[in-house]
Amino acid sequence: METLIPDKKIHDGKKAEEYEFENIILTSVDKVLSWARYSSMWPFTFSTACCAIEMMAAAGSHNDLSRFGMEVFRATPRQADLMIVAGTITYKMAPRVRRLYDQMPEPKYVIAMGACATSGGPFHMSYGVMNGVDKIIPVDIYIPGCPPKLEALIDGILKLRERIKEDKHLTRKVNEVIKSVKNMRSK
């Protein structure tokens, strides 16, 4: 019987059993989703002041944000998962910023870029200026400076990518659903 079974040799001398598990990747859905999110962030910008110039410079070919998966800045929040707020936010703008944030699909992330977006900047004493965008939407990364250097923006994006890489969004959502079901049953 042994002579009827062909030798399981592959062309480079290895046996087929050695290749059996080489192309199998073991992971969780959370890790795959986190990898996809941090490898291809799609930014949406809300720029009102001089920080926008640094943001445009960061998106140029010299700095190449596409190496981080940010090929093109999106023109609509419905296609973006990262909102970069750069510049002064007034009380009149606040509802529109909130509306744009609400239009973004989950999970969504926000970077506040510059002194104006983080704390009101030099206009913080003005009656019409909000002292930071975090008063209306949750902010994940703050980038200080007036205006911050483009390297600071890139560093902030890299810090956000590391945070996204460790994020367990799906597990958190499942746990929230389980918790809400338990709360409904207990009532």
Fold of 33-180: Rossmann fold (3.40.50)
Per-residue pLDDT band at 15 (split at 50, 70, 90): low
Quick: pLDDT tens for 70-86. Answer: 777 888 888 888 899 98
Cα 171 to Cα 5, 103, 155, 167, distances in angstroms: 48, 23, 28, 9
State pTM to two decimals: 0.72
Domain parsing of the chain, residue ranges:
33-180
Quick: pLDDT tens for 84-117. Answer: 998 888 899 999 999 999 998 888 889 999 888 8
Residue 147 backbone dihedrals phi, psi, to 5 degrees: -75, 155
Spell out a b/e string for 89-119, using b for 16 or more CB atoms within 10 Å of the CB, else e: beeebeeebeebbeebeebbbbbbbbbbbbb
Q: How many CB atoms lie within 10 A of CB 149?
A: 13
Classify the C-alpha dihedral 43-133-114-116 as positive or negative. Answer: positive
